[in-house]
Amino acid sequence: MKRPSRSWLGLGVAILCLLIMTFKMAWLEPLFQPLVSNKMSVIYSRDSFIHLLAWHLAAVLMAISAATLLAVSVGMLVTRQRGAEFLPLARAVANLGQTFPPVAILALAVPALGFGLIPTLVALFLYGMLPIFENTVTGLQQVSPNIREAAQGMGMTASQQLWRVEIPLALPMILAGIRIALVISVGTATIGSTVAAKGLGEVIIAGLLTDNMAFVLQGGIMVALIAIIIDALLQHVEQRLTPPN
C-alpha cells in the first residue's frame, strides 16, 4: 500500500488546524491564555471566525479572479504578432499595481469608493496583476517554435493553435502566477480591515489596538494557514499539468 507523501500529510495537518481554529477556537484557549492578562479576552468574540474567514476568502477570490481574467487576456494579446508592440505598455501598467503599496491604494480609493469591501478589492486586483501577467507572457513565449510550426503544418488556425497547443503548454506557468497572486493577496487582504472591510485582519487589528497578542496570533495563524493550503494545493495541480521531460 502506497503511503501518503509528506507534502500531503503536511497539507492535511494545515487543513485540520484551520478547521479547528475556525469552528472550535475555544479548544485552544489554554494555549493563548499565557499571552494575555487576566482582564483581557483570550478568544476573539466580536464576530465568528467562520464569518470572517468567508469574507476574507471571498475578497481574495473575487479580486484575483478578475485579475486573472484581465491579465491572461492581455498576456495572450501581447504575445500575438499583431499585439507585440503593446507589450512594454502592458508590462508598465501591470507593474504599476506593485509600485504603490496596498495602503496607498486604499488611501486613494476610499475617497472615491467609500469604506468597506470595494476599495479592498481594488487594491488586491491591482496587486495581483503583475505575477499573473508576467507568467502568462513567459509561458506563452516559451512554447517552442517547432511546436508552433507543427501545429501550423497540421492546418490549425491561429486561434486553434493558441487554445489547443500554446495555452495547455503554458498552463503550469500561468497557474504558478495565479498561485503567487493568491498567496500574496491572502496576506494583503488583512489591511482591508483598516477601511472597515470584513476579514481576518479585523482580529489582528483588534489585537494591535488592545495590545492583545492572543488576537494577533489567532488572526495571523489563520491567514498563514490559508496561504499554506492554497500554495500547496496549486503546486500539486501545477505538477499534474506539467508534462514529463
Ordered by start, the domain boundaries in the chain are 46-241
- pLDDT(3) > 80: no
Q: pTM score, two decimals?
A: 0.91
pLDDT, position 10:
83
pLDDT for 135 equals: 96
Greater pLDDT, 186 or 38: 186
What span, in angstroms and rounded, lies between the C-alpha atoms of 37 and 210?
Answer: 11
Cell of 113: 469608493
Cell numbers 476574507 correspond to 56
Residue 160 has pLDDT above 80, yes or no: yes
Topology adopted by domain 46-241: MetI-like fold (1.10.3720)
What is the model's pLDDT at position 199?
A: 92
Residues 84-92: what's their mean pLDDT? Answer: 90
Amino acid 116: pLDDT: 83
Residue 163: which of 80, 88, 86, 84 has the closest Cα? Answer: 80
Give the chain's mean pLDDT: 90
Q: What is the pLDDT of residue 245?
A: 60
pLDDT above 90 coverage of the chain, percent: 62
The pLDDT assigned to 24 comes to 93
Confidence bin at 1 (pLDDT 50/70/90):
very low
